[in-house]
Structure 1
Protein backbone atom coordinates (compact mmCIF):
# COMPACT_ATOMS: atom_id res chain seq x y z
CA UNK A 1 0.00 0.00 0.00
CA UNK A 2 2.83 2.37 0.87
CA UNK A 3 4.48 1.76 -2.50
CA UNK A 4 1.21 2.54 -4.30
CA UNK A 5 0.85 5.79 -2.35
CA UNK A 6 4.44 6.76 -3.18
CA UNK A 7 3.88 5.99 -6.86
CA UNK A 8 0.70 8.11 -6.97
CA UNK A 9 2.43 11.00 -5.21
CA UNK A 10 5.38 10.87 -7.60
CA UNK A 11 3.03 10.70 -10.59
CA UNK A 12 0.97 13.67 -9.39
CA UNK A 13 4.15 15.67 -8.79
CA UNK A 14 5.16 15.08 -12.40
CA UNK A 15 1.72 16.19 -13.60
CA UNK A 16 1.67 19.33 -11.46
CA UNK A 17 2.19 22.64 -13.19
CA UNK A 18 5.45 24.48 -12.56
CA UNK A 19 5.34 27.64 -10.48
CA UNK A 20 4.83 30.63 -12.72
CA UNK A 21 5.94 34.14 -11.94
CA UNK A 22 4.61 37.32 -13.51
CA UNK A 23 7.84 37.62 -15.50
CA UNK A 24 7.33 34.09 -16.88
CA UNK A 25 3.82 34.94 -18.10
CA UNK A 26 5.06 38.17 -19.72
CA UNK A 27 7.90 36.23 -21.37
CA UNK A 28 5.46 33.65 -22.77
CA UNK A 29 3.26 36.39 -24.29
CA UNK A 30 6.29 38.17 -25.77
CA UNK A 31 7.61 34.95 -27.32
CA UNK A 32 4.15 34.08 -28.70
CA UNK A 33 3.84 37.57 -30.20
CA UNK A 34 7.32 37.34 -31.73
CA UNK A 35 6.80 33.85 -33.19
CA UNK A 36 3.40 34.82 -34.61
CA UNK A 37 4.79 37.92 -36.35
CA UNK A 38 7.81 36.02 -37.70
CA UNK A 39 5.55 33.34 -39.21
CA UNK A 40 3.21 36.04 -40.57
CA UNK A 41 6.15 37.83 -42.19
CA UNK A 42 7.68 34.63 -43.59
CA UNK A 43 4.40 33.71 -45.33
CA UNK A 44 4.48 36.94 -47.38
CA UNK A 45 8.06 36.51 -48.66
CA UNK A 46 10.18 34.05 -50.59
CA UNK A 47 11.29 32.67 -47.23
CA UNK A 48 8.02 30.66 -47.06
CA UNK A 49 9.26 28.34 -49.81
CA UNK A 50 12.55 28.10 -47.93
CA UNK A 51 10.74 27.03 -44.77
CA UNK A 52 9.01 24.22 -46.67
CA UNK A 53 12.39 23.06 -47.97
CA UNK A 54 13.87 23.11 -44.46
CA UNK A 55 10.98 21.00 -43.15
CA UNK A 56 11.68 18.40 -45.87
CA UNK A 57 15.39 18.39 -45.02
CA UNK A 58 14.60 18.01 -41.30
CA UNK A 59 12.31 15.05 -42.04
CA UNK A 60 15.09 13.51 -44.14
CA UNK A 61 17.55 14.00 -41.26
CA UNK A 62 15.13 12.28 -38.81
CA UNK A 63 14.83 9.30 -41.14
CA UNK A 64 18.63 9.14 -41.45
CA UNK A 65 18.96 9.28 -37.65
CA UNK A 66 16.36 6.52 -37.11
CA UNK A 67 18.03 4.16 -39.60
CA UNK A 68 21.52 5.19 -38.47
CA UNK A 69 22.75 6.47 -41.84
CA UNK A 70 26.07 7.69 -40.47
CA UNK A 71 27.39 9.30 -43.65
CA UNK A 72 24.24 11.36 -44.21
CA UNK A 73 24.21 12.45 -40.54
CA UNK A 74 27.88 13.47 -40.81
CA UNK A 75 27.11 15.58 -43.92
CA UNK A 76 24.22 17.30 -42.15
CA UNK A 77 26.26 18.09 -39.03
CA UNK A 78 29.25 19.46 -40.94
CA UNK A 79 27.28 21.62 -43.39
CA UNK A 80 24.82 23.24 -40.99
CA UNK A 81 27.10 26.18 -40.12
CA UNK A 82 27.86 26.91 -43.78
CA UNK A 83 24.17 26.53 -44.57
CA UNK A 84 23.13 29.17 -42.03
CA UNK A 85 25.64 31.69 -43.45
CA UNK A 86 24.44 30.91 -46.99
CA UNK A 87 20.81 31.50 -45.97
CA UNK A 88 21.69 34.90 -44.48
CA UNK A 89 23.45 35.91 -47.71
CA UNK A 90 20.70 34.67 -50.04
CA UNK A 91 17.86 36.22 -48.03
CA UNK A 92 19.65 39.42 -47.07
CA UNK A 93 16.99 41.64 -48.80
CA UNK A 94 14.20 39.97 -46.82
CA UNK A 95 16.05 40.38 -43.50
CA UNK A 96 16.77 44.03 -44.30
CA UNK A 97 13.13 44.67 -45.18
CA UNK A 98 11.98 43.02 -41.93
CA UNK A 99 14.28 45.24 -39.85
CA UNK A 100 13.15 48.36 -41.74
CA UNK A 101 9.50 47.49 -41.10
CA UNK A 102 10.27 46.84 -37.43
CA UNK A 103 11.82 50.29 -37.12
CA UNK A 104 8.72 51.89 -38.66
CA UNK A 105 6.25 50.19 -36.28
CA UNK A 106 4.34 52.57 -34.03
CA UNK A 107 4.95 50.26 -31.03
CA UNK A 108 8.66 51.14 -31.17
CA UNK A 109 8.38 54.90 -31.55
CA UNK A 110 7.28 55.63 -27.95
CA UNK A 111 10.50 54.02 -26.66
CA UNK A 112 12.57 56.59 -28.53
CA UNK A 113 10.27 59.56 -28.00
CA UNK A 114 11.93 62.64 -26.61
CA UNK A 115 9.74 65.36 -25.17
CA UNK A 116 9.75 68.42 -27.37
CA UNK A 117 7.46 71.31 -26.71
CA UNK A 118 8.08 72.83 -30.14
CA UNK A 119 5.51 71.85 -32.72
CA UNK A 120 6.89 70.83 -36.09
CA UNK A 121 5.77 72.95 -39.03
CA UNK A 122 3.20 71.47 -41.37
CA UNK A 123 4.67 69.17 -44.03
CA UNK A 124 3.23 71.12 -46.96
CA UNK A 125 0.84 74.01 -47.49
CA UNK A 126 -2.89 73.94 -48.23
CA UNK A 127 -2.12 75.26 -51.70
CA UNK A 128 0.18 72.30 -52.40
CA UNK A 129 -2.47 69.90 -51.10
CA UNK A 130 -5.11 71.41 -53.40
CA UNK A 131 -2.75 71.34 -56.39
CA UNK A 132 -1.97 67.66 -55.74
CA UNK A 133 -5.63 66.67 -55.58
CA UNK A 134 -6.48 68.76 -58.66
CA UNK A 135 -3.63 67.32 -60.73
CA UNK A 136 -4.37 63.76 -59.64
CA UNK A 137 -7.95 63.79 -60.87
CA UNK A 138 -7.14 65.79 -64.01
CA UNK A 139 -4.68 63.01 -64.86
CA UNK A 140 -7.31 60.40 -63.97
CA UNK A 141 -9.83 61.97 -66.40
CA UNK A 142 -7.45 61.52 -69.32
CA UNK A 143 -6.17 58.12 -68.08
CA UNK A 144 -2.63 59.44 -67.82
CA UNK A 145 -0.50 57.16 -65.66
CA UNK A 146 1.21 58.85 -62.72
CA UNK A 147 3.27 57.92 -59.66
CA UNK A 148 3.85 60.60 -57.00
CA UNK A 149 5.82 59.84 -53.82
CA UNK A 150 5.51 62.26 -50.88
CA UNK A 151 8.40 62.21 -48.43
CA UNK A 152 7.72 62.13 -44.69
CA UNK A 153 10.27 61.37 -41.94
CA UNK A 154 12.43 58.92 -43.93
CA UNK A 155 14.49 60.62 -46.64
CA UNK A 156 13.91 59.66 -50.28
CA UNK A 157 17.40 60.86 -51.26
CA UNK A 158 18.66 57.48 -52.51
CA UNK A 159 15.65 57.16 -54.84
CA UNK A 160 15.92 60.76 -56.03
CA UNK A 161 19.44 60.02 -57.23
CA UNK A 162 18.05 57.42 -59.67
CA UNK A 163 16.07 60.13 -61.49
CA UNK A 164 16.49 63.67 -62.81
CA UNK A 165 16.75 66.49 -60.28
CA UNK A 166 14.07 69.19 -60.61
CA UNK A 167 13.66 71.16 -57.35
CA UNK A 168 10.59 73.00 -58.65
CA UNK A 169 7.59 74.50 -56.86
CA UNK A 170 4.71 72.02 -57.03
CA UNK A 171 1.74 73.03 -59.19
CA UNK A 172 -1.01 71.08 -60.91
CA UNK A 173 0.09 72.37 -64.33
CA UNK A 174 3.66 71.14 -63.78
CA UNK A 175 2.49 67.71 -62.56
CA UNK A 176 0.20 67.28 -65.56
CA UNK A 177 2.97 68.34 -67.92
CA UNK A 178 5.49 65.92 -66.36
CA UNK A 179 3.25 62.88 -66.80
CA UNK A 180 2.05 63.82 -70.30
CA UNK A 181 2.65 60.99 -72.78
CA UNK A 182 5.83 61.10 -74.89
CA UNK A 183 7.54 63.71 -72.71
CA UNK A 184 11.09 63.10 -71.39
CA UNK A 185 10.00 63.00 -67.72
CA UNK A 186 6.75 61.02 -67.87
CA UNK A 187 8.26 57.58 -67.20
CA UNK A 188 8.96 56.61 -63.57
CA UNK A 189 8.00 58.34 -60.33
CA UNK A 190 8.34 61.88 -59.03
CA UNK A 191 9.39 62.63 -55.44
CA UNK A 192 7.89 65.46 -53.40
CA UNK A 193 9.44 67.12 -50.37
CA UNK A 194 7.43 69.87 -48.71
CA UNK A 195 6.05 72.17 -51.39
CA UNK A 196 8.55 71.18 -54.07
CA UNK A 197 8.99 68.44 -56.65
CA UNK A 198 12.54 67.26 -56.04
CA UNK A 199 13.06 64.72 -58.85
CA UNK A 200 11.36 62.92 -61.74
CA UNK A 201 11.79 59.60 -63.61
CA UNK A 202 12.86 57.93 -60.35
CA UNK A 203 13.17 54.15 -60.06
CA UNK A 204 11.39 52.55 -57.11
CA UNK A 205 11.78 49.07 -55.59
CA UNK A 206 9.04 46.61 -56.59
CA UNK A 207 7.11 44.86 -53.85
CA UNK A 208 7.33 41.07 -53.69
CA UNK A 209 4.20 40.83 -51.52
CA UNK A 210 2.40 37.72 -52.76
CA UNK A 211 -0.95 38.90 -51.42
CA UNK A 212 -1.16 41.72 -53.96
CA UNK A 213 -3.69 41.20 -56.72
CA UNK A 214 -2.22 39.63 -59.85
CA UNK A 215 -3.87 42.23 -62.07
CA UNK A 216 -1.71 45.02 -60.64
CA UNK A 217 0.94 46.46 -62.92
CA UNK A 218 4.47 47.67 -62.28
CA UNK A 219 3.32 51.16 -61.23
CA UNK A 220 1.21 49.84 -58.35
CA UNK A 221 3.85 47.33 -57.24
CA UNK A 222 6.46 50.09 -57.19
CA UNK A 223 4.14 52.24 -55.06
CA UNK A 224 3.72 49.44 -52.52
CA UNK A 225 7.45 48.68 -52.68
CA UNK A 226 8.52 52.22 -51.75
CA UNK A 227 5.94 52.28 -48.94
CA UNK A 228 7.44 49.07 -47.51
CA UNK A 229 10.97 50.49 -47.19
CA UNK A 230 10.07 54.08 -46.23
CA UNK A 231 7.21 55.90 -44.48
CA UNK A 232 6.30 57.72 -47.70
CA UNK A 233 2.79 58.36 -49.02
CA UNK A 234 2.30 57.50 -52.69
CA UNK A 235 -0.46 58.49 -55.13
CA UNK A 236 -1.00 56.29 -58.19
CA UNK A 237 -3.11 57.00 -61.27
CA UNK A 238 -3.80 53.96 -63.44
CA UNK A 239 -3.08 54.34 -67.14
CA UNK A 240 -5.52 51.55 -68.02
CA UNK A 241 -8.58 52.59 -65.99
CA UNK A 242 -7.88 56.12 -64.78
CA UNK A 243 -8.60 55.06 -61.20
CA UNK A 244 -6.69 56.61 -58.29
CA UNK A 245 -4.99 54.52 -55.59
CA UNK A 246 -2.79 55.31 -52.60
CA UNK A 247 -0.03 53.33 -50.89
CA UNK A 248 1.31 53.72 -47.37
CA UNK A 249 2.96 51.35 -44.91
CA UNK A 250 2.90 48.45 -47.39
CA UNK A 251 -0.87 48.82 -47.82
CA UNK A 252 -2.58 49.63 -51.12
CA UNK A 253 -6.02 51.25 -51.15
CA UNK A 254 -7.62 51.32 -54.57
CA UNK A 255 -10.32 53.36 -56.28
CA UNK A 256 -10.33 56.35 -53.93
CA UNK A 257 -12.25 59.57 -54.57
CA UNK A 258 -11.24 63.19 -54.06
CA UNK A 259 -12.56 63.50 -50.51
CA UNK A 260 -10.73 60.39 -49.35
CA UNK A 261 -7.46 61.49 -50.93
CA UNK A 262 -7.79 64.97 -49.44
CA UNK A 263 -8.45 63.52 -45.97
CA UNK A 264 -5.36 61.28 -46.16
CA UNK A 265 -3.21 64.20 -47.30
CA UNK A 266 -4.51 66.25 -44.38
CA UNK A 267 -3.40 63.45 -42.03
CA UNK A 268 0.19 63.55 -43.25
CA UNK A 269 0.22 67.35 -43.55
CA UNK A 270 0.62 67.63 -39.74
CA UNK A 271 -1.66 70.64 -39.55
CA UNK A 272 -2.66 71.94 -36.12
CA UNK A 273 -5.74 70.01 -34.83
CA UNK A 274 -7.96 73.08 -34.76
CA UNK A 275 -7.34 73.78 -38.43
CA UNK A 276 -8.30 70.39 -39.79
CA UNK A 277 -11.88 70.04 -40.98
CA UNK A 278 -13.69 66.76 -40.64
CA UNK A 279 -14.38 65.13 -43.98
CA UNK A 280 -16.63 62.16 -44.63
CA UNK A 281 -14.45 59.35 -45.86
CA UNK A 282 -15.30 56.89 -48.59
CA UNK A 283 -13.42 53.66 -48.13
CA UNK A 284 -11.65 52.42 -51.22
CA UNK A 285 -10.94 48.80 -52.04
CA UNK A 286 -8.28 47.14 -49.99
CA UNK A 287 -5.25 45.68 -51.70
CA UNK A 288 -6.51 42.08 -51.50
CA UNK A 289 -9.81 42.82 -53.27
CA UNK A 290 -10.17 42.17 -56.95
CA UNK A 291 -10.67 45.07 -59.25
CA UNK A 292 -9.14 46.85 -62.19
CA UNK A 293 -6.03 48.90 -61.58
Structure 2
Protein backbone atom coordinates (compact mmCIF):
# COMPACT_ATOMS: atom_id res chain seq x y z
CA UNK A 1 0.00 0.00 0.00
CA UNK A 2 1.43 3.36 -1.00
CA UNK A 3 1.98 6.47 1.08
CA UNK A 4 -0.91 8.17 -0.72
CA UNK A 5 -3.31 5.43 0.43
CA UNK A 6 -2.34 5.99 4.07
CA UNK A 7 -2.70 9.76 3.69
CA UNK A 8 -6.13 9.37 2.12
CA UNK A 9 -7.29 7.04 4.91
CA UNK A 10 -6.01 9.41 7.60
CA UNK A 11 -7.69 12.34 5.88
CA UNK A 12 -11.04 10.47 5.69
CA UNK A 13 -10.83 9.53 9.36
CA UNK A 14 -10.07 13.13 10.27
CA UNK A 15 -13.04 14.38 8.24
CA UNK A 16 -15.33 11.84 9.90
CA UNK A 17 -14.14 12.84 13.36
CA UNK A 18 -14.44 16.53 12.53
CA UNK A 19 -18.00 16.15 11.21
CA UNK A 20 -19.03 14.11 14.26
CA UNK A 21 -17.70 16.76 16.66
CA UNK A 22 -19.38 19.47 14.59
CA UNK A 23 -22.78 17.75 14.80
CA UNK A 24 -22.43 17.09 18.54
CA UNK A 25 -21.55 20.74 19.23
CA UNK A 26 -24.52 21.98 17.16
CA UNK A 27 -26.90 19.69 19.07
CA UNK A 28 -25.39 20.83 22.37
CA UNK A 29 -25.91 24.51 21.50
CA UNK A 30 -29.49 23.80 20.37
CA UNK A 31 -30.14 21.94 23.65
CA UNK A 32 -28.82 24.89 25.68
CA UNK A 33 -30.97 27.34 23.72
CA UNK A 34 -34.04 25.17 24.38
CA UNK A 35 -33.22 25.19 28.12
CA UNK A 36 -32.97 29.01 28.06
CA UNK A 37 -36.38 29.54 26.40
CA UNK A 38 -38.11 26.68 28.26
CA UNK A 39 -41.06 27.95 30.29
CA UNK A 40 -40.91 31.46 28.78
CA UNK A 41 -42.98 33.27 26.19
CA UNK A 42 -40.19 32.60 23.69
CA UNK A 43 -41.56 29.04 23.41
CA UNK A 44 -44.62 30.42 21.64
CA UNK A 45 -42.30 32.34 19.32
CA UNK A 46 -40.50 29.13 18.34
CA UNK A 47 -43.85 27.46 17.64
CA UNK A 48 -44.85 30.44 15.47
CA UNK A 49 -41.61 30.18 13.46
CA UNK A 50 -42.27 26.49 12.77
CA UNK A 51 -45.80 27.33 11.57
CA UNK A 52 -44.46 30.03 9.22
CA UNK A 53 -41.84 27.65 7.80
CA UNK A 54 -44.49 24.97 7.28
CA UNK A 55 -46.77 27.43 5.45
CA UNK A 56 -43.80 28.55 3.31
CA UNK A 57 -43.00 24.95 2.32
CA UNK A 58 -46.65 24.24 1.47
CA UNK A 59 -46.94 27.42 -0.61
CA UNK A 60 -43.79 26.49 -2.57
CA UNK A 61 -45.04 22.95 -3.21
CA UNK A 62 -48.45 24.12 -4.50
CA UNK A 63 -47.08 27.26 -6.23
CA UNK A 64 -49.14 29.67 -4.12
CA UNK A 65 -47.22 32.76 -5.20
CA UNK A 66 -48.97 35.44 -3.14
CA UNK A 67 -48.88 33.41 0.08
CA UNK A 68 -45.26 32.43 -0.61
CA UNK A 69 -44.30 36.09 -1.10
CA UNK A 70 -45.98 37.02 2.18
CA UNK A 71 -44.09 34.29 4.06
CA UNK A 72 -40.81 35.46 2.50
CA UNK A 73 -41.45 38.99 3.80
CA UNK A 74 -42.29 37.64 7.26
CA UNK A 75 -39.07 35.62 7.36
CA UNK A 76 -37.04 38.50 5.91
CA UNK A 77 -38.15 41.08 8.49
CA UNK A 78 -39.13 38.69 11.26
CA UNK A 79 -35.60 38.32 12.65
CA UNK A 80 -35.34 42.08 13.11
CA UNK A 81 -38.68 42.10 14.94
CA UNK A 82 -37.52 39.19 17.12
CA UNK A 83 -34.35 41.07 18.09
CA UNK A 84 -36.46 44.09 19.15
CA UNK A 85 -39.27 42.24 20.93
CA UNK A 86 -37.05 39.76 22.78
CA UNK A 87 -34.20 42.15 23.53
CA UNK A 88 -34.28 41.45 27.33
CA UNK A 89 -34.08 37.67 26.82
CA UNK A 90 -31.26 38.00 24.28
CA UNK A 91 -29.36 40.32 26.59
CA UNK A 92 -29.65 37.87 29.51
CA UNK A 93 -28.41 35.02 27.31
CA UNK A 94 -25.40 37.06 26.20
CA UNK A 95 -24.70 38.06 29.80
CA UNK A 96 -24.71 34.39 30.83
CA UNK A 97 -22.34 33.60 27.97
CA UNK A 98 -19.99 36.41 29.03
CA UNK A 99 -19.97 35.17 32.62
CA UNK A 100 -19.26 31.63 31.53
CA UNK A 101 -22.69 30.46 32.75
CA UNK A 102 -24.06 29.47 29.36
CA UNK A 103 -22.61 26.00 29.83
CA UNK A 104 -23.38 23.71 32.72
CA UNK A 105 -22.21 24.67 36.18
CA UNK A 106 -20.74 22.19 38.59
CA UNK A 107 -22.96 20.28 40.98
CA UNK A 108 -21.20 21.98 43.90
CA UNK A 109 -22.13 25.45 42.63
CA UNK A 110 -25.77 24.46 42.13
CA UNK A 111 -25.91 22.94 45.58
CA UNK A 112 -24.57 26.17 47.13
CA UNK A 113 -27.20 28.20 45.27
CA UNK A 114 -29.96 25.87 46.45
CA UNK A 115 -28.76 26.18 50.06
CA UNK A 116 -28.82 29.99 49.83
CA UNK A 117 -32.30 29.82 48.32
CA UNK A 118 -33.56 27.54 51.11
CA UNK A 119 -32.08 29.81 53.78
CA UNK A 120 -33.67 32.94 52.26
CA UNK A 121 -37.11 31.33 51.93
CA UNK A 122 -37.01 29.79 55.41
CA UNK A 123 -36.01 33.10 56.99
CA UNK A 124 -38.74 35.03 55.17
CA UNK A 125 -41.45 32.43 55.93
CA UNK A 126 -40.48 32.28 59.61
CA UNK A 127 -40.67 36.09 59.86
CA UNK A 128 -44.07 36.27 58.15
CA UNK A 129 -45.52 33.34 60.10
CA UNK A 130 -44.68 34.92 63.47
CA UNK A 131 -46.37 38.17 62.40
CA UNK A 132 -49.27 36.53 60.54
CA UNK A 133 -48.42 38.09 57.21
CA UNK A 134 -50.21 36.15 54.47
CA UNK A 135 -47.96 34.84 51.70
CA UNK A 136 -48.08 32.59 48.65
CA UNK A 137 -44.73 31.51 47.11
CA UNK A 138 -44.40 29.02 44.25
CA UNK A 139 -41.07 27.50 43.17
CA UNK A 140 -40.79 26.46 39.54
CA UNK A 141 -39.16 23.07 38.91
CA UNK A 142 -39.23 21.04 35.69
CA UNK A 143 -42.63 22.23 34.42
CA UNK A 144 -42.37 25.77 33.07
CA UNK A 145 -44.57 28.42 34.71
CA UNK A 146 -44.16 31.10 32.05
CA UNK A 147 -47.91 31.47 31.52
CA UNK A 148 -48.48 32.24 35.22
CA UNK A 149 -45.46 34.57 35.41
CA UNK A 150 -46.97 36.66 32.64
CA UNK A 151 -50.12 37.28 34.73
CA UNK A 152 -48.12 39.18 37.37
CA UNK A 153 -45.58 41.96 37.64
CA UNK A 154 -42.26 40.67 36.35
CA UNK A 155 -39.28 41.45 38.59
CA UNK A 156 -36.38 39.12 37.67
CA UNK A 157 -34.69 40.05 40.93
CA UNK A 158 -32.17 38.18 43.03
CA UNK A 159 -33.88 36.19 45.79
CA UNK A 160 -33.48 37.49 49.33
CA UNK A 161 -35.52 37.12 52.50
CA UNK A 162 -35.89 40.91 52.75
CA UNK A 163 -37.39 41.16 49.25
CA UNK A 164 -39.86 38.34 49.88
CA UNK A 165 -40.98 39.92 53.17
CA UNK A 166 -41.43 43.37 51.62
CA UNK A 167 -43.51 42.00 48.75
CA UNK A 168 -46.11 40.53 51.13
CA UNK A 169 -46.39 43.45 53.54
CA UNK A 170 -50.15 44.25 53.64
CA UNK A 171 -51.53 47.13 51.57
CA UNK A 172 -48.55 47.26 49.23
CA UNK A 173 -49.02 47.04 45.43
CA UNK A 174 -47.56 43.52 45.07
CA UNK A 175 -48.82 41.74 48.19
CA UNK A 176 -52.01 40.35 46.63
CA UNK A 177 -51.27 37.25 44.58
CA UNK A 178 -48.43 34.77 44.31
CA UNK A 179 -44.68 35.19 44.00
CA UNK A 180 -43.09 32.80 41.52
CA UNK A 181 -39.44 31.84 41.98
CA UNK A 182 -37.61 30.71 38.87
CA UNK A 183 -34.15 29.20 39.41
CA UNK A 184 -32.31 31.78 41.54
CA UNK A 185 -34.63 34.71 40.78
CA UNK A 186 -37.91 36.22 41.91
CA UNK A 187 -39.46 36.01 38.45
CA UNK A 188 -42.71 37.84 39.22
CA UNK A 189 -45.09 38.95 41.98
CA UNK A 190 -48.87 39.45 42.15
CA UNK A 191 -49.38 36.42 39.89
CA UNK A 192 -52.66 34.59 39.46
CA UNK A 193 -52.62 30.84 40.08
CA UNK A 194 -55.43 28.42 39.14
CA UNK A 195 -57.73 27.51 42.02
CA UNK A 196 -58.24 23.85 42.81
CA UNK A 197 -61.79 22.61 42.31
CA UNK A 198 -61.32 19.49 44.42
CA UNK A 199 -64.40 18.78 46.59
CA UNK A 200 -62.20 17.29 49.30
CA UNK A 201 -60.59 20.57 50.34
CA UNK A 202 -61.50 21.66 53.86
CA UNK A 203 -64.00 24.53 53.97
CA UNK A 204 -61.79 26.38 56.44
CA UNK A 205 -59.06 26.82 53.85
CA UNK A 206 -59.01 30.11 51.98
CA UNK A 207 -58.10 31.26 48.48
CA UNK A 208 -54.34 31.02 49.04
CA UNK A 209 -54.53 27.34 49.93
CA UNK A 210 -56.84 26.61 46.99
CA UNK A 211 -54.45 28.41 44.63
CA UNK A 212 -51.48 26.50 46.08
CA UNK A 213 -53.27 23.19 45.54
CA UNK A 214 -54.45 24.26 42.10
CA UNK A 215 -50.93 24.99 40.80
CA UNK A 216 -49.60 21.77 42.35
CA UNK A 217 -52.21 19.81 40.37
CA UNK A 218 -51.06 21.15 36.99
CA UNK A 219 -47.29 21.57 37.58
CA UNK A 220 -44.55 19.91 39.63
CA UNK A 221 -43.90 23.14 41.54
CA UNK A 222 -43.55 23.44 45.30
CA UNK A 223 -45.85 26.10 46.74
CA UNK A 224 -45.66 27.64 50.20
CA UNK A 225 -48.60 29.22 52.01
CA UNK A 226 -48.46 31.39 55.13
CA UNK A 227 -51.91 31.81 56.65
CA UNK A 228 -52.94 35.38 57.42
CA UNK A 229 -55.43 34.21 60.08
CA UNK A 230 -53.30 31.74 62.04
CA UNK A 231 -49.74 32.26 60.84
CA UNK A 232 -49.45 28.52 60.07
CA UNK A 233 -47.19 27.35 57.26
CA UNK A 234 -48.35 24.86 54.61
CA UNK A 235 -46.68 23.32 51.57
CA UNK A 236 -48.29 21.80 48.47
CA UNK A 237 -46.69 19.47 45.93
CA UNK A 238 -48.10 16.94 43.47
CA UNK A 239 -51.65 17.80 44.53
CA UNK A 240 -50.92 17.12 48.23
CA UNK A 241 -51.28 19.62 51.07
CA UNK A 242 -48.96 19.47 54.08
CA UNK A 243 -50.46 21.72 56.77
CA UNK A 244 -49.26 23.44 59.93
CA UNK A 245 -45.58 22.71 59.53
CA UNK A 246 -43.23 23.86 62.25
CA UNK A 247 -40.17 25.90 61.34
CA UNK A 248 -37.75 22.96 61.42
CA UNK A 249 -40.20 20.66 59.60
CA UNK A 250 -40.70 23.22 56.85
CA UNK A 251 -36.98 23.76 56.34
CA UNK A 252 -36.34 20.02 56.35
CA UNK A 253 -39.01 19.41 53.69
CA UNK A 254 -37.71 22.27 51.54
CA UNK A 255 -34.15 20.99 51.82
CA UNK A 256 -35.17 17.46 50.93
CA UNK A 257 -37.14 18.52 47.87
CA UNK A 258 -34.76 21.12 46.42
CA UNK A 259 -31.42 19.48 47.14
CA UNK A 260 -32.61 16.05 45.96
CA UNK A 261 -33.93 17.63 42.75
CA UNK A 262 -30.62 19.42 42.22
CA UNK A 263 -28.71 16.16 42.77
CA UNK A 264 -30.94 14.33 40.26
CA UNK A 265 -30.39 16.99 37.62
CA UNK A 266 -26.62 16.95 38.13
CA UNK A 267 -26.52 13.14 38.01
CA UNK A 268 -28.71 13.08 34.89
CA UNK A 269 -26.49 15.63 33.16
CA UNK A 270 -23.40 13.55 33.91
CA UNK A 271 -24.95 10.31 32.64
CA UNK A 272 -26.24 11.99 29.49
CA UNK A 273 -22.83 13.49 28.82
CA UNK A 274 -21.25 10.04 29.08
CA UNK A 275 -23.93 8.62 26.82
CA UNK A 276 -25.08 6.03 29.36
CA UNK A 277 -28.53 5.17 30.69
CA UNK A 278 -28.30 2.07 32.78
CA UNK A 279 -25.37 0.27 34.40
Pairwise CA RMSD: 1.9
- The answer to whether residue 263 in structure 2 is matched with residue 270 in structure 1 is no
Superposition TM-score, scaled by structure 1 size: 0.51
Say which one has the larger Rg. Answer: 1
Superposition TM-score, scaled by structure 2 size: 0.53
Ranges in structure 2 where 5+ consecutive residues have no aligned partner: 1-105, 264-279
Which of 165, 190, 212 aligns to 1:223? It is 212
CA distance in 1, matches of 2:222, 2:189: 16
- The structure whose residues are more often helix, as a share, is 2
CA contact (8 A) 1:124 1:194 kept: no
- The answer to whether residue 149 in structure 2 is matched with residue 177 in structure 1 is no
Which of 163, 186, 192 aligns to 2:175? It is 186
Provide Cα deviations, 1:148-171, integer angstroms capped at 9, x if missing partner: 000110011100000000001111
Moved more, 172-181 or 255-264: 255-264
Number of equivalences: 156
Residue in 2 aligned with 1:22?
A: none
Ranges in structure 1 where 5+ consecutive residues have no aligned partner: 1-117, 274-293
Structure 2 SS opposite 1:228: helix
CA contact (8 A) 2:217 2:238 kept: yes
Residue in 2 aligned with 1:160?
A: 149
Structure 1 SS opposite 2:228: coil
Provide Cα deviations, 1:240-291, integer angstroms capped at 9, x if missing partner: 1111000001111110012211122112223577xxxxxxxxxxxxxxxxxx
Which of 176, 182, 187 aligns to 1:198? It is 187
Provide Cα deviations, 1:31-72, integer angstroms capped at 9, x if missing partner: xxxxxxxxxxxxxxxxxxxxxxxxxxxxxxxxxxxxxxxxxx
Change in Cα spacing, 1:238 to 1:123, as seen in structure 2 (3 Å) is: farther
CA distance in 1, matches of 2:112, 2:202: 32
